[in-house]
């Protein structure tokens, strides 16, 4: 999808978290509220939001422009080593700080900011984030290669203990840190 061809409704918004003053690694864009698909749980609990994350992006350390990262795997690699190797525009093929930003303020999207240096998801596992219905925060989980959903580090430890075939995977390879939502406009380095 061409990032420059977004309609007004699809354009993301940038918001500020005044408690965090350093440059950020990335933003995770969530689908506009009006377009989120919901599925009912078997219990009478509130519906779950599906497919909440639809775009991964990183902010350039030098020019503060947002660049779309095409896959979650590439995004996780940038995030994994962000402190020692901050993202810059020239890390994307044929992109420089002189090029227009891939993403700009505006629209109905919900933006959330991720923490740097979260380990890359182990091969065969999937990391997922779900936005709560009240938009208060996101919940993190991992899906194992055999389809089991792990929601806490204690579940990871139990799973790894029961499955010696994953002896090369460590509990330290999993992080249940979740991105924080942002709610007002922002400048570079917020």
Q: Show the tokens assigned to 9.
A: 């409704």
Number of H helices, E strands in the chain: 2, 10
Query: Does residue 46 fall inside a structural domain?
Result: yes
Count the helix, strand and coil residues of the chain and give each as a percent rounded to the nearest 5.
20, 20, 60
The closest of 133, 136, 76 to 112, measured between CA atoms, is: 136
CATH code where residue 79 lies: 3.30.890.10
Instruction: Please give the residue range of the domain that contains residue 157.
Output: 3-181
In the chain the first and final C-alpha atoms are separated, in Å, by 28
Query: Does residue 120 fall inside a structural domain?
Result: yes
* 175-185 tens-digit pLDDT: 999 988 765 44
Q: Show the tokens assigned to 51.
A: 């497919």
Query: Does residue 190 fall inside a structural domain?
Result: no
Q: Examine the pLDDT at 165 and tell me if it is beyond 50.
A: yes
Query: Does residue 189 fall inside a structural domain?
Result: no
Q: What is the spatial distance between Cα 35 and Cα 159, in angstroms, rounded to a whole number?
A: 35
Distance, CA of 108 to chain centre: 17
Q: Which residue has the higher pLDDT, 46 or 102?
A: 102
* 54-92 tens-digit pLDDT: 889 999 999 999 999 999 999 999 999 999 999 999 999
Query: Does residue 187 fall inside a structural domain?
Result: no
């Amino acid at each position: 999808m061409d990032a420059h061809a977004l309609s007004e409704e699809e354009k993301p918004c940038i918001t500020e978290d005044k408690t965090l003053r350093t440059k950020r690694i990335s933003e995770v864009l969530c689908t506009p509220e009006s377009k989120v698909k919901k599925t009912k749980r078997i219990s009478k609990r509130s519906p779950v939001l599906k497919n909440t994350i639809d775009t991964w992006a990183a902010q350039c350390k030098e020019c503060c422009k947002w660049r779309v990262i095409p896959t979650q795997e590439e995004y996780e690699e940038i995030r994994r080593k962000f402190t020692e190797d901050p993202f810059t525009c020239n890390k994307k093929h044929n992109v420089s700080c002189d090029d227009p930003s891939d993403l700009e303020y505006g629209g109905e999207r919900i933006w959330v900011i991720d923490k740097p240096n979260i380990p890359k998801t182990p091969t065969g596992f999937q990391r997922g984030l779900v936005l709560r219905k009240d938009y208060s925060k996101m919940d993190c989980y991992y899906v194992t290669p055999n389809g089991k959903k792990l929601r806490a580090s204690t579940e990871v430890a139990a799973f790894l203990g029961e499955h010696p075939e994953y002896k090369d995977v460590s509990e330290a390879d999993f992080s249940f840190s979740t991105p924080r939502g942002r709610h007002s406009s922002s400048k570079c380095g917020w």
